[in-house]
Amino acid sequence: MNNERLTARSRCPVGRYLLLAARLTASLQLVGVPRVFVSLIVPALATPAFGGARRILAANLMGATGDAGGLGLSPEADLHAGATVVCCMCLLLLAGLGYFRPASSELY
């Protein structure tokens, strides 16, 4: 059973990569490079203290919080939405790295 499952997963990951490429291309055209870069990289960087499913959940919550915070603050401060989201995500990155520090043995 494990062999069947393993071969089914590793059989053809090309479809997944094509979908990711299409989504990234569309996202880049809609919101720009900094916004897409921050959405992909910052949640992963901010959650090194968590592992497995908890890390995925924390990264998703951080991404949603940064998006909501940036989009909510943007009209109030009369700022560009993309730049405000990027700033909020970077602030969350700094807060996440400062608050959820992994043990030094877990880094490498």
12 in a domain, yes or no? no
1 in a domain, yes or no? no
| Average pLDDT, integer, range 8-35 | 78
14 in a domain, yes or no? no
Q: Which residue has the higher pLDDT, 4 or 41?
A: 41
How confident is the model over 36-84, as pLDDT tens digits? 888 888 888 888 778 788 888 888 898 899 999 999 999 999 999 889 9
Segments forming the whole domain that contains residue 61:
32-107
Q: Which value, to the nearest 10 degrees, does the dihedral of the CA atoms of residues 57, 17, 36, 28 take? A: -150
pTM metric for this prediction:
0.69
CB 87 within 8 A of CB 70: yes
The rounded distance, in Å, linking the Cα atoms of 27 and 23 is 6
Instruction: Report the number of distinct structural domains present in the chain.
Output: 1
24 in a domain, yes or no? no
15 in a domain, yes or no? no
User: Buried b / exposed e across 71-87, counting CB within 10 Å, b at 16+?
Assistant: eeebeeeeeebbebbbb
